[in-house]
């Protein structure tokens, strides 16, 4: 029976073309992930080299004034991506993995993002995560929606019904062949990704793999349920595509809209204002107003006195610190909301 079903499957051009297309796009998505990792690695190396050059250049021009040197220095913060990130790039386009900051006004620099082409952000990345979430169900629908209706419309269903006692088992076996090929492609792509992207076989990788397999099995069960209703091909296709739109596009959009409106984050703007006000108002106050909080946070600097009659760098950076402390509670609240 299975040998006949395999032979019948490969005689269907649509099925073969669909599987070849899925395999091709899957390989391309892995190569895009590889390109992403290479790009990030080159950026990190370039940033490290630039920082070393920048420090040496500033030391050359400001070697006699430490305060002025710190004013101009920029320090590169790097969150090196794990290789498994290449499977699903996510929001890395919007939230940079590399950021250059100064020691002046840290709260105001925390959430700076890179400038990106809006058109590229709109289209998103064709990574393996996208292929698994959106394309695998579509291909599964394309090769299985007419398992029953095709036999009936070709007039072969009555012959099959007369020759077998388990019509449901026949449909199940027919679907199983298709699901087997889909799962084989999925496992192959995950294995290829682990090799090309040099992903460690750690719990994160196995979690992604198991979730992906369960996701495909869920759509397989859904397809079998729709097919078992014994409707026409057009109704099966329309029903499955409608379910696909609801589950992959509509519900995520509704959930995202609910989360955005439920957990609004006005603290992002408030933290910026508080940081700026906390710093700028210190210009008009006694110098002790800035230095008291600074000495509490950094007692090792208490021996460095601040002259009242002239500008001093320790007072300047004490004011910068005061601005960050003024926004501290709002910043923590914002972080808590983002985690929610």
What confidence tens digit (pLDDT) does each residue in 148-189 have? 666 666 555 565 655 665 666 767 777 888 889 899 999 999
Confidence of residue 328 (pLDDT cuts 50, 70, 90): confident
* Residue pLDDT, tens place only, 296-320: 888 998 888 888 888 888 888 888 8
Q: How far apart are CA 98 and CA 114, in angstroms?
A: 9
Domain ranges of the chain: 2-30+126-244
pLDDT confidence of 249, banded at 50, 70, 90? very high
Residue 118 has pLDDT above 70, yes or no: no
Q: Using pLDDT thresholds of 50, 70 and 90, give the confidence band for residue 255.
A: very high
Are 139 and 21 a contacting pair, CB within 8 Å?
yes
CA distance 103 to 264: 29
Question: Quick check: 248 and 140 in contact, CB under 8 A?
Answer: no
Mean pLDDT for 4-11 is 63
Highest mean pLDDT (candidates 88-92, 124-128, 224-228, 239-243): 239-243
Mean pLDDT, to the nearest integer, of 199-203? 91
What pLDDT, on the 0 to 100 scale, is given for residue 168?
62
Q: In this predicted structure, what is the pLDDT of residue 78? A: 87
203 vs 149 pLDDT, higher one = 203
The more confidently predicted of residues 217 and 309 is 217
pTM for the predicted model, two decimal places: 0.78
pLDDT tens per residue across span 24-57: 999 999 999 999 899 889 988 998 999 999 999 9
According to the model, what pLDDT value does residue 194 have? 94
Q: Is the pLDDT of residue 322 over 80?
A: yes
Looking at residue 186, what is its pLDDT?
96
Asked which of 43-47, 140-144, 161-165, 280-284 is least confident by mean pLDDT, the reply is 161-165
Distance CA 69, CA 291 (A): 21
- Show contacts of 25-30: CB within 8 Å, 24+ apart: 25/126, 25/131, 25/135, 26/128, 26/131, 26/185, 26/189, 27/189, 27/192, 28/126, 29/126, 29/127, 29/128, 29/130, 29/131, 30/86, 30/128, 30/189, 30/192, 30/193, 30/196, 30/197
- Predicted pLDDT of residue 263: 80
Query: What is the mean predicted confidence (pLDDT) over 96-125?
Result: 72
For residues 62-77, average pLDDT: 88
Highest-confidence segment of 72-81, 143-152, 165-174: 72-81
Q: What ranges in 12-146 are assigned the alpha helix state H?
A: 13-61, 66-72, 106-109, 118-123, 128-130, 136-144
């Amino acid at each position: 029976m299975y040998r006949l079903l395999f032979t019948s499957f490969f005689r269907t051009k649509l099925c073969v073309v669909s599987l070849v297309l899925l395999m091709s796009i899957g390989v391309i998505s892995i190569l895009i992930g590889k390109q992403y990792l290479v790009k990030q690695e080159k950026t990190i190396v370039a940033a490290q080299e630039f920082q070393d050059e920048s420090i040496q250049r500033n030391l050359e021009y400001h070697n006699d004034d430490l305060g002025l040197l710190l004013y101009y220095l920029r320090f590169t913060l790097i969150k090196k991506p794990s290789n498994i990130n290449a499977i699903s790039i996510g929001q890395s386009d919007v939230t940079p993995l590399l950021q250059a900051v100064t020691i002046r006004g840290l709260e105001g620099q925390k959430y700076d993002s890179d400038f990106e082409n809006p058109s590229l952000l709109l289209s998103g990345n064709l990574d393996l995560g996208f292929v698994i979430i959106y394309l695998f169900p579509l291909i599964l629908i394309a090769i299985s929606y007419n398992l029953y209706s095709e036999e009936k419309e070709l007039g072969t269903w009555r012959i099959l019904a007369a020759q077998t006692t388990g019509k449901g088992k026949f449909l199940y076996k027919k679907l199983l062949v298709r699901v087997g090929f889909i799962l084989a492609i999925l496992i192959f792509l995950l294995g290829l990704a682990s090799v090309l992207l040099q992903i460690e076989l750690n719990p994160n990788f196995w979690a992604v793999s198991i979730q992906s397999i369960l996701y495909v099995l869920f759509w397989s069960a859904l397809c079998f349920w729709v097919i078992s209703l014994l409707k026409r091909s057009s109704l099966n296709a329309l029903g499955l595509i409608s379910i696909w739109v609801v589950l992959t596009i509509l519900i995520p959009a509704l959930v995202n809209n609910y989360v955005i409106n439920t957990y609004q984050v006005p603290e992002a703007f408030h933290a910026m204002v508080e940081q700026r006000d906390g710093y700028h108002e210190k210009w008009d106050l006694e110098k002790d107003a800035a230095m008291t909080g600074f000495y509490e946070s950094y007692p090792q600097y208490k021996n460095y006195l601040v002259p009242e009659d002239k500008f001093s760098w320790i007072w300047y950076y004490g004011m910068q610190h005061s601005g960050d402390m003024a926004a501290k509670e709002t910043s923590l609240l914002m972080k808590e909301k983002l985690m929610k």
